[in-house]
Structure 1
Amino acid sequence: MKRILLLTFACLCLAAPGISSADTPAKPTAEDFGKTADGTPVELYTLKSSKGLVAKIMTRGATLVQLHVPDSDGKSADVIFGFDDVAGYESEDNQYFGCTTGRVCNRIAKGKFSLDGKDYTLAINNEPNHLHGGVERSLDKVVWKAKPFANEKGTGVTFSYTSPDGEEGYPGNLDVTVRFFVPTDANRVSITYTAKTDKATPVNLTNHAYFNLGGAGSETVLNHKLMLNAPQYTPVDDTLIPTGEIKDVEGTVLDFRKPTRIGKGIEELTDTAALGYDHNFVLAEIPEGKSMRMAARLVDPDSGRTLTISTDQPGIQFYSGNFLMGQTGKDGKTYPHRSAVCLETQHYPDSINQPKFPSTVLKPGEEFKSTTVLNFGN
């Protein structure tokens, strides 16, 4: 009788909420997404929530390829730019769509910096500066290893890559991971970055998704409303390198502290080097006792979709798609001028050459860790 009671209790425990293995979703499985030009296979992983979000991420560049979210009527749309195959991402039409960007995202002045008494020279790929980690082996162009996982809260994939000492001119062997996680019960994507090095090196990592909450391929993003939790910004010179100053946004077209239509003041910036919005904003301090704060909120009045971004990073780059040229992306849709925005959580551009900015130098024995959360609503 005692044995029967024990077996019955065990069965009841397995059936109880929060204990059953059925509560843990299955691990994401790899799909074939084709091969790179050099023949390297690329995998695609799908993460889903019960609320309608579907995220697809590939191993080339640890790149967000698709991100489907419902509108206020429950109708789903893919809200980020991308391509249907690897060849598209290797083409000149790709403007860093959805990728993990680094080792150092954004710009480094004239592709030069000094560290621990040594001078380093990087590729000039955004004349006259270095942009987004380099030309051939920046993090967006390499194929990462993927490790899918699942737990009682949701599903995810951890991508890892070791950038060898000297790759794209950067010092140190850098071990990088990017973890994407989608909870079962929320339309949210958490992106966590970690990095370790055996030699001092600059590190500044972000995701470069292009968002149009009306659906990728919609004609414009200028009717979206944007709020940035940023009282200041970093002014730039005519090559988009920070001057080292930090100025208040008050009284300028860069003041998005209240929800503001993106198109409202953009024409005032058309004759600048940025050709629109392409600015680093200095985010408000993280409240005491918190690990992150809200950085941005994007709203599409037509679809009702919203995107709220939280981060532990000190800055966010707001780019209004000024160089989009009508290229053809997923499902044959075109991506017109100013038809998407990038909201890239980051350290400030050219921080390695700006002693007054928060440091981007990672040293041996330290760990770089950062998290950004994309929370979708309607």
Structure 2
Amino acid sequence: MRSLLCVALLAAAGQAGATGIAVRPYGVTAAGTNVERVTLTNDRGMQLSYIDYGATIVAATAADRSGARRNVVLDLPDLAAYQRSTRKWGAIIGRYAGRIGGARYTLDGKTVQLQPNLRGLTIHGGPPGYEHRVWQRRDFADSASIGSVYTLVSPDGDQSFPGKLALRVTYRLLRASDEFRIEYEAVTDAPTVVNFTNHAYFNLAGAGSRGLATHRFQIDADRYAVTDANRVPTGELASVAQTPLDFRRPASAAARLQGPSALLGDPPGFDHSLVLTKAPGKLARVAVIDDTASGIRMTVGTTEPSAQFYTANAFDGKEVGSSGTAYERYDGFAFETQHLPDSPNQPAFPSTALRPGDVFRSVTSFRFTRQ
């Protein structure tokens, strides 16, 4: 998978910590496929690392208040741990991120039956998930950025979805600022539905830090998707006003998890689809997350219409990060930019249909600064 460009950059850099692209072996899958780890280092010293398995982000270093860099992406210690896990750490999710109610949808008059789970719905595309596949990779460098282009071909009938889908995901680290971007592009040879996201978990105090008590969230969303008992959208998009989901002004998610709330469940937790207040298809700022302890700020921009905000409610201490710390409930958060769940069954939601001749494109950016 290593490109000639990458080999040249490695020779010029001389070591993983130098500016450029560094590649090293990461392991071999149970099926015998080699997996590599890529580490990008920009001119400011920020690093972004990912592996070919699941096109999974495994680290992103941000400068704290003192200038020291911390990895803010929760990770696992080795390839075997990623193969065992069901939590989709930092991986690309598809063909359809989120839930599809009844494990079926109708498009152009044709009903498509998907693979139901035990609750009778499909989540994150169903098995076999994109997070458990080894993606093909090409590394690149240009005047403004360095990165890799990952490609995956999902054949007709894969996960029971119609159409051969060609998906390209670009990880791009900007040279002159602490910002990385995830760029998606997909085409199909038959009508289908698509919804992609990256499932990274963050903790801006540093991966392995406990809880979210020092985090403040500001999210540009004025509505959320109301869901049923299986957390499948009903079709109603309700106002966040006077609910725990109102982060239009900076607020502590941890504080809102302390008290009882019918909306947050029992035990309480955020796992909600927020409708972003932005122009359709335009790359715009949608969230600012601050950690008052480290001084790290993460600003998220996206072209997507919504985001799934999740506070790691199901973490139970059974999985351990590379830091040696077991991940407990609320030890991280995910902010998954995407289209709304169950959109194929909800005519009022933005469409997720992709047809031959059309190109799906999406961009999400993560920029890190100091408060």
Same fold (TM over 0.5): yes
| DSSP-derived class of the 1:156 partner | strand
Written as runs of structure 1 = structure 2, the 5 A alignment for 1:28-43 is 28-43=21-36
Query: Which residue of structure 1 aligns with residue 62 of structure 2?
Result: 69
Question: Could you say which residue in structure 1 is the equivalent of 2:133?
Answer: 142
203-212 vs 69-78, which moves further: 69-78
Aligned to 2:39: 46
Q: Distance in 2 between matches of 1:215 and 1:30?
A: 24
**Per-residue CA shift, 1:143-163, capped at 9, x if unaligned?**
111000001112110000110
The Cα shift of 1:363 comes to 0.4
Structure 1 outlier segments of 4+, above 4 Å? none
Judged with a 3 Å threshold, the aligned counterparts in structure 2 of structure 1 residues 321 and 175 are, in CA distance, closer, same or farther, namely same
1:38 CA drift (Å) = 0.9
Matches within 5 A, 1:1-378: 28-92=21-85, 94-125=86-117, 127-136=119-128, 138-266=129-257, 267-269=259-261, 272=265, 275-286=268-279, 291-326=282-317, 327-378=319-370
Larger Rg: 1
Q: Deviations over 1:111-139 (max 9, x none)?
A: 11122333222223462321111122x22
Distance 2:76 2:97 in 1: 22
Select between 112-121 and 180-189 the one with higher mean Cα deviation.
Answer: 112-121
Q: Secondary structure at the match of 1:358?
A: coil
CA displacement, residues 344-364 of structure 1 (integer Å, 9 cap, x when unaligned): 001001101111100001000
Query: Take 1:75 and 1:167, find their aligned partners in 2: how far apart are those partners?
Result: 44
> 3-state SS of the aligned residue for 2:301?
strand
**Structure 2: which amino acid aligns with 1:261?**
S
Structure 1 unaligned spans of 5+: 1-21
> Cα gap change, 1:202/1:273 in structure 2, threshold over 3 Å: closer, same or farther?
farther
SS in 2 for 1:88: helix
The structure in which a higher percent of residues are strand is 2
Aligned partners of 1:126 and 1:206: how far apart in 2? 23
Provide the rounded CA distance (Å) in 2 between the counterparts of 1:59 and 1:329: 19
Amino acid at match of 1:31: R
Percent of aligned positions with the same letter in both sequences?
36
Structure 1 residue 70, shift from structure 2 partner: 1.5
Under a length normalisation based on structure 1, what TM-score does the superposition of the two structures give? 0.89
Unaligned runs of 5+ in 2: 1-11, 13-17
- Letter of the 1:113 partner, please give it: Y
How far apart, in 2, do the equivalents of 1:215 and 1:154 lie? 25
Letter matched to residue 337 of structure 2: T
User: In 2, Cα distance between the equivalents of 1:345 and 1:239?
Assistant: 21
| Structure 1 residues 342 and 126: CA distance shift in structure 2, 3 A | farther
2:46 and 2:62 in contact (8 A); partners too: yes
